[in-house]
Structure 1
Amino acid sequence: MISVAVVDAKTPGNVGTIARAMKNFGLTDLYLVDPPDLDPDGEAYGFAGQAREDVLPNAREVSFDYLVEHFHTVGCTAVTNEDARHHVRYPFRTPRNLADSLAGVDADTCVVFGRERVGLTNEELERLDEVCSIPASAEYPVLNLGQAATVVLYELRTLTVEETQLPTDIDRAPESDVEALHEQFASLVDRALVEEKRPKTLRLWRRLLGRAHPTTREVSTLHGVFRRAESLMGDRE
């Protein structure tokens, strides 16, 4: 199970944004360390969307010690060290790497986000089990707290969102329909291009359509376009 914690947030709106992202990606348990005032008529609830109904009102205020003692913890930071001589912020995972790693972990995990301006301190990160950082431009790597949480939770969706909510299969047209489209395109090419250009054009078309995995509707639409094109060419001959 994956939970989220926000440490010492200063802006209620960021807490609401994180709660909304949690709702988007199937998480429910929010922990707050030294939170700002979360007025039900204020900014946090205004930014939370439907998370104002369950995630935000059920958020628990806890200590940092509680997170360390009860969870496998992942600290999120924008500032990292790039070599093994510095252990506080190295090694670190990207959000996508983190999702792959946690897929095999049978432990309650809490993803911990820090303050808007300075994030988590070195002293806090030293007490956490893993470090996660979002790859961003070296010129401006620091994301808004709510944005950072949304990116990380999006990558974790494969662990938190029911598979039935995720499209997994491509509705590709039957192979016989695709081959019929190839034949119709070949007929069109025979009428439109000189002979020496036809083989290359047909190969390009086959590779293009092979990568596209067209649906039944798309194949049917292209059939109609090609028929119309051939009809117009016949009228002009």
Structure 2
Amino acid sequence: MKPAVAIVEPKTPGNIGTIARAMKNFGMDDLKLVNPPEFGRDSEAYGFAGQAREDVLPNYDEVTFDELIENYHTVGMTATTNEDASHHVRFPFKTPRELAESLQDVTTDTVLIFGREANGLTNEELSRIDEVCSIPASASYPALNLGQAATVTLYELRTLTVEETQLPDVSRERADEAEIEGFYGAFSDLLETVGQPTEKHEKNMRMIRRVFGRAHPTGREIATLRGIVRRANQRASASDTPRTSRNDK
């Protein structure tokens, strides 16, 4: 079930628009605002919302914090967490990826609650929330701005909200083994033409195989590379052919 997204007392309309846009990006559409500033069609909220200005943003619900607690399974987002279990306000917590996994089979209405730009959610608010989520970041500067935090979180939760686009099957895109072997043969011929020492030939070819084995080149890529190697071999062969001088005529 798609979670709703709530912002508590946002100060900047631009952040509201940024989060609405992230919601649109990752398949969410239920935006809740707790005590928001006034904003209209000419505000930064609509300017930053992109295509979300047509549906997500104008359809937001203004609610109270109490209404979120009473009607939803609540997930409080915070950058500051406790280090151990001796305090339970901000501990234990999940990362956004762990949260996505835990919500996979949950059918209860869920809301992700983001706090204020300056100081996030208070301890009192977090004490009333069902679970806590935090984004792992550098200990020297763990606080992301509101728009960044929402975008990262909603990206991780996309498995709950977006049908993954059909990606190409890499195993089918990879060049046929015969095509790759043909490239190896052309490269081996080039090594011989340029006078690569015989004792190094086997080692060099093994390295080439390992490189291309990891790369999984496509048919077009391997054909292009084989053509380049073939032309290089032809040039190298031509440069080794003795030229007839005028005195030989």
User: In which range does the TM-score fall when normalised by the shorter chain?
Assistant: over 0.9
Q: Give the superposition deviation at 1:168.
A: 5.8
Within 5 Å, give how 1:154-169 maps onto structure 2.
Answer: 154-163=155-164, 165=165, 167=167, 169=169
Aligned position for 2:146:
145
SS in 1 for 2:117: coil
Aligned position for 2:200:
197
Matched to 1:44, the amino acid is A
Give per-residue Cα distances to partners, 1:79-98, cap 9 Å, x unaligned: 01111111111111122222
Give per-residue Cα distances to partners, 1:176-198, cap 9 Å, x unaligned: 32232233223333334212222
CA distance in 2, matches of 1:109, 1:179: 54
Aligned position for 1:223:
226
Q: TM-score, normalised by structure 2?
A: 0.88
Q: Give the superposition deviation at 1:46.
A: 0.5
Shift in alpha-carbon separation, 1:160–1:175, aligned structure 2, 3 A: farther
SS in 1 for 2:94: coil
CA distance in 1, matches of 2:15, 2:27: 18
Question: What is the aligned counterpart of 2:179 among 177, 180, 195?
Answer: 177
Q: TM-score, normalised by structure 1?
A: 0.93
Aligned position for 1:49:
50
Tell whether 2:120 aligns with 1:86: no
Shift in alpha-carbon separation, 1:7–1:205, aligned structure 2, 3 A: same
CA distance in 2, matches of 1:172, 1:47: 41
Unaligned segments of structure 1, at least 5 residues: none
Matched to 1:214, the amino acid is P
Q: What is the RMSD of the two structures over their aligned residues, measured on CA atoms?
A: 1.6
Within 5 Å, give how 1:117-132 maps onto structure 2.
Answer: 117-132=118-133
Aligned position for 1:206:
209
Q: Give the superposition deviation at 1:166.
A: 5.3
Identity of aligned residues (%): 62
Stretches (4+) displaced over 4 A: none
Shift in alpha-carbon separation, 1:65–1:182, aligned structure 2, 3 A: farther
CA distance in 1, matches of 2:96, 2:209: 37
Q: Give the superposition deviation at 1:217.
A: 1.8
Matched to 2:10, the amino acid is A
Aligned position for 2:244:
none
Give per-residue Cα distances to partners, 1:37-57, cap 9 Å, x unaligned: 121111100110110000000
